[in-house]
Amino acid sequence: MSDLLRPASAPDLMTEAASLLESLRAAPPLTHCITNAVVTGFTANVLLAVGAAPAMVDIVGEAGMFAGVAGGLLVNLGTPPPEQRAGMREAVAGATASGTPWVLDPVAIGALPVRTALAQELVALRPTAVRGNASEILALAGRSAGGRGVDATDSTDAAADAARDLAVRFGCVVAVSGPVDLVTDGERVLRLANGHEQLTRVTGGGCALGAVMAAFLAVARTTGADALTAVASASLVYTVAAEQAAASATGPGTFAVALLDALSAVQPDQLGAAARIEEGTL
């Protein structure tokens, strides 16, 4: 998959991705993140670097109110203590009532019962998008016991049918992260081969992508772009920046810093030349 073709429709995505990135930077979307304690700071810095405005509001009594005024919401199940779980439910209710697009990231579900039950509860509330690795997507669809903690033990293609089923069942876009990312709305499918393995060696590499997707969905809500385009555009911008960061990094530490710099520096007109995309149907 390293040399994916660009069929006639793929340039449309690159054009849309460039336009969404320009719009995001022109009017930074307020991006509400209920995320895990391990990645909060990195996620906020990623959003700032790409051009969005992060807010980490997970307190019961505030989360629902804030989701109603935010442009987009991320719900990440990485480290969900009881109050945060209640805040997630409240935020999703607020987002649903106000039409705020939201992303569910079912981190490490499968064998772990508390987060798995919570993921099943939340996906039934019909998120705009679900983002996870292949094992998490398979577990969410009830097809496996999950991976090894936060690490996938399944391939992206192995999760393709599960991603389609989730998308159709809950009316959402499903993004499966891996060496080649798969993004589907149940009918269309995009495979994006950009990215770098250093993303797997930095805590929060995948979690932060979910936040970027929420930011792009916020922009799509105001520009009229569809959710599949927004989610795929977020993945493209993020993974192109990862490639640029890896080119100058000497290891995971310098890569993490370089990724923030690359997200800040990546230009809309660079996406077309860098993108490796395949579009089709499942």
Our count of domains for the chain comes to 1
Q: 166-175 pLDDT, tens per residue?
A: 999 999 999 9
Give residue 196's domain range: 10-281
Q: Does any domain span residue 3?
A: no
Q: Does any domain span residue 214?
A: yes
Write down the pLDDT at residue 1: 23
> What tokens does 251 get?
């290891």
> What tokens does 26 get?
């022109």
Q: Looking at residue 51, which CATH number applies to its domain?
A: 3.40.1190.20
* Position 190 pLDDT exceeds 50: yes
Q: What is the DSSP string of 1-23?
A: -TT----TTHHHHHHHHHHHHHH
DSSP-derived secondary structure letter, 269 = G
Q: Does any domain span residue 4?
A: no
> What tokens does 107 get?
């981190």
Q: How confident is the model at residue 145 (pLDDT cuts 50, 70, 90)?
A: low
Q: Does any domain span residue 237?
A: yes
What mean pLDDT value characterizes the chain? 92
Q: Does any domain span residue 29?
A: yes
pTM to 2 decimals?
0.94
The residues, ordered by sequence, that sit 6+ positions from 100 with a Cβ below 8 Å of its Cβ are: 32, 67, 68, 70, 71, 72, 73, 94, 218, 221
